[in-house]
Amino acid sequence: MKLSATNITHAACISRSFLYPDLFGSKTLSLTAEAVTNYSLSIEQGGYPSHDARNVTNLSFCNVSLIYTHPGQHDSINVQVWLPLNGWNQRLQGAGGGGFLAGLNVPSMAGALSDGFAVVSTDAGHKIEDASTWALLSPGNVDLYALQNYASVSLNDAAVIGKSIIQNFYGQGPIRSYWNGCSNGGRQGLVIAQRYPDAYDGILAAAPGIDWNTALLGGMYFPLQVLKGGHVPAPCEIYALSLAAVAACDADDGVVDDIISNPEQCRFDPFALVGQNVTCPGMTATISHAAAQGAAMAWDAVRTANGSLLMPGLNYGALLNVALNSTCDNQGGKCKMVPFPYSEEFIRYWMFKRPDFDWTTLTLTDFYRLWNISANTYSDMIASNNPDLSGFRAAGGKMITWHGLADPAVPTNISSIYYNNVAQLDPGINEYYRLFQAPGISHCGGGNGLYPGHVFETLIAWVEEGKAPEILQGASLPTENGTIYHRPICAYPLMAKYKGKGDVTLADNWKCA
């Protein structure tokens, strides 16, 4: 889709060109503007969320950096707005973050800029991802204002600031505004739709960490279960079981391509491989009962002591070495569990509030107690699971979520559960919100599967032309022999099925059913 462009001179990129934004409840501390020319960057797949890899060259833009505070909260938040000096498409793109970072992700901002967007992003008050630098006011005391900024408040602030800066610079506001994020950026997108429905016209919320607080806590469940069993399997065992599941269920969709298209249809018993010798890059191992047990739990769910569901597990097809990560001594002997770093930090700083807390002292009894405390303490602040999107619908917004079916970090079914909850509340969900599940794709990108590298264009067409998406165009990375698979990614709950004849690498030979 061709978007109209606006040009402006370098001379306008000076601080006095800009008025301080009228942001209620805030005080601007400083504003600087600097012209940047001949900017280039190589961006990997997904570095600019939901876009293919690209080389950005010779960009010229005005970098406006604004620092503000919420008086009485002792915070200092940096927002950057990158304004194209030529070729502005008259649109704003909000750039999300990842992990414990709220934004200011350079590849994401540069990618949006290369597409002609003015870009806004925020650090929410902390520039370093390490939670030790911002989570606590002091041992025992969580910085709730910092968490609130990271969770939600800074997102709407950034939208207001971005639109104000654009108005000052170009003499007109953006004709449309879009949000783009994956992982935490996906969570941010859902928060915006739920809490600030007028902030953006279109939202791309990919692989969202929806139940942020409980999902991070859930990442500790599998390591604790392994420790309870008394034997820690080597990484090679877990890796081999992950690949064995793909081999067992690859052909279920009628095509052998190292992709599981329908994980729920997969039937694989990891215990059948116990005792088998396996080879991994640089090492060999023997599948242990502990490895099979850990894999079975990771593919199942996080459950209460009586078996009730707390959080869905990973899909067959996802590499389990995130959920069941371990490291062994140089001789391949004794191994120890290494939990998902964000889970370990969440428990250390937000649950126990002690920088020196040792996660290995936890028990499963502690885990279940912490689950309830986490839900009661943090859900209202940071969880993005509210199914009421009536405000977003009334504002005329459109939102797309896509989630890789082989995501090893955020279980894919978290997104489908949320989507179903929205649909139960509003049967007209398809008028403004659609979910797509990408076979074989890992967290926000990577993997053997079908990556929707043009989904943002699809979102724009939905917002501006009313073209509601039934499919996303997916393409794989080249295989070792150079083959690229093209396939439709179908709107949930449909999935792509091979028609039974024709070249399996061509999208035309697949249908949604």
- Tell which of 120, 155, 174 closes a domain: 174
From 50, 242, 443, 476, active-site residue:
443
Judge whether residue 43 has pLDDT over 70: yes
Judge whether residue 27 has pLDDT over 90: yes
Task: Assess whether 255 and 364 both reside in one domain.
Answer: yes
Query: Which band of pLDDT confidence, cut at 50, 70 and 90, is reported for residue 440?
Result: very high
In this structure, of 25-34, 144-153, 477-486, the range with the lowest mean pLDDT score is 477-486
3-state secondary structure 45-65: CCCCCCCCCEEEEEEEEEEEE
Task: Assess whether 203 and 141 both reside in one domain.
Answer: no
In this prediction, residue 332 carries a pLDDT of 56
Q: Do the Cβ atoms of 49 and 93 come closer than 8 Å?
A: no
Task: Assess whether 416 and 327 both reside in one domain.
Answer: no
- Classify residue 506: in a domain, yes or no: no
- DSSP of 103-160, one letter per residue? S--HHHHHHHHHTT-EEEEE-TT-----GGGTSEEETTEE-HHHHHIIIIIHHHHHHH
Domain assignment of residue 82, given as a range: 10-174
Give, in order, the Cα–Cα distances in Å from 252 to each of 227, 245, 246, 387: 34, 12, 10, 33
Q: What is the mean pLDDT of residues 348-362?
A: 96
- Classify residue 283: in a domain, yes or no: yes
Within 289-435, residue ranges assigned H as helices are 289-300, 341-345, 364-382, 390-394, 412-425
Give the rounded percent of residues in the chain with a pLDDT score beyond 70.
98
Task: Assess whether 222 and 328 both reside in one domain.
Answer: yes
Clarify whether 390 is annotated catalytic. no
Dist. CA 104–CA 65, nearest whole Å: 11
Residue with tokens 């690859």: 250
- Classify residue 68: in a domain, yes or no: yes
Residue 377 is encoded by which pair of tokens?
A: 């303490």
From 108, 164, 183, 288, active-site residue:
183
- Tell which of 350, 380, 410 closes a domain: 380
Phi, psi angle pair for 11, to nearest 5°: -60, -25
Judge whether residue 1 has pLDDT over 50: no
Task: Assess whether 81 and 57 both reside in one domain.
Answer: yes
Task: Assess whether 277 and 162 both reside in one domain.
Answer: no
Give, in order, the Cα–Cα distances in Å from 453 to each of 438, 449, 487, 508: 11, 12, 12, 18
Give, in order, the Cα–Cα distances in Å from 94 to each of 154, 171, 176, 202: 12, 20, 11, 10
**Torsion, CA 254, CA 255, CA 256, CA 261, rounded to 10:** -80
Q: What is the pLDDT of residues 74-120, one digit of tens each?
A: 999 999 999 999 999 999 999 999 999 999 999 999 999 999 999 99
From 26, 407, 442, 476, active-site residue:
407
Which residues are within 8 A (CB) of 117 and not within 5 positions of it... i.e. 6 or more apart? 84, 88, 89, 91, 92, 93, 178
Q: Do the Cβ atoms of 399 and 189 come closer than 8 Å?
A: yes
Task: Assess whether 76 and 223 both reside in one domain.
Answer: no
Residue 268 is encoded by which pair of tokens?
A: 């694989």
Dist. CA 324–CA 326, nearest whole Å: 6
Q: What is the pLDDT of residues 300-352, one digit of tens each?
A: 999 999 999 999 999 999 999 999 999 998 765 789 999 999 999 999 999 99
Give, in order, the Cα–Cα distances in Å from 467 to each of 232, 282, 433, 457, 459: 51, 50, 13, 11, 9
- Tell which of 362, 380, 398 closes a domain: 380
In this structure, of 208-212, 242-246, 421-425, the range with the lowest mean pLDDT score is 208-212
Task: Assess whether 126 and 196 both reside in one domain.
Answer: no
- Classify residue 4: in a domain, yes or no: no
pTM over 0.75: yes
Instruction: Please state the domain count of the chain.
Output: 3
- Classify residue 501: in a domain, yes or no: no
Q: Which amino acid is at 395?
A: A
Clarify whether 407 is annotated catalytic. yes
- Classify residue 288: in a domain, yes or no: yes
E strand intervals along 352-479: 398-404, 433-438, 471-475
Query: Which band of pLDDT confidence, cut at 50, 70 and 90, is reported for residue 2?
Result: very low
- Classify residue 513: in a domain, yes or no: no
Dist. CA 203–CA 94, nearest whole Å: 9
Average of per-residue pLDDT values in the chain: 95
Judge whether residue 238 has pLDDT over 90: yes
Query: Which band of pLDDT confidence, cut at 50, 70 and 90, is reported for residue 231?
Result: very high
Judge whether residue 485 has pLDDT over 60: yes
In this prediction, residue 275 carries a pLDDT of 97
Give the rounded percent of residues in the chain with a pLDDT score beyond 90.
93
In this prediction, residue 331 carries a pLDDT of 60
- Classify residue 101: in a domain, yes or no: yes
Other beta carbons within 10 angstroms of residue 84's beta carbon come to 25
Clarify whether 503 is annotated catalytic. no
- DSSP of 234-303, one letter per residue? PHHHHHHHHHHHHHHHGGGGS--SS--S-GGG----GGGGTT-EEEETTEEEE--HHHHHHHHHHHHEEE
Task: Assess whether 366 and 467 both reside in one domain.
Answer: no
Dist. CA 438–CA 2, nearest whole Å: 27
Q: What is the pLDDT of residues 199-226, one digit of tens each?
A: 999 999 999 999 888 999 999 999 999 9
Dist. CA 354–CA 349, nearest whole Å: 6
Report which of residues 4 and 180 the model is more confident about.
Answer: 180
In this prediction, residue 5 carries a pLDDT of 53
In this prediction, residue 333 carries a pLDDT of 74
Nearest-CA neighbor of 259 among 471, 14, 486? 486
The angle formed by the CA atoms of residues 387, 303 and 224, to the nearest 5 degrees, is 120
Q: What is the mean pLDDT of residues 481-486?
A: 93
- Residue 19 per-residue DSSP state: P
Rama region for 436: left / alpha / beta (φ>0; ψ in -120 to 50; rest): beta
Half-sphere exposure of 438 (CA within 13 A, CB side): 31
Task: Assess whether 19 and 39 both reside in one domain.
Answer: yes
Q: Residue 435: which CATH number?
A: 3.40.50.1820
Residue 175 is encoded by which pair of tokens?
A: 């004709």
Task: Assess whether 170 and 41 both reside in one domain.
Answer: yes
In this prediction, residue 6 carries a pLDDT of 62
Task: Assess whether 35 and 133 both reside in one domain.
Answer: yes
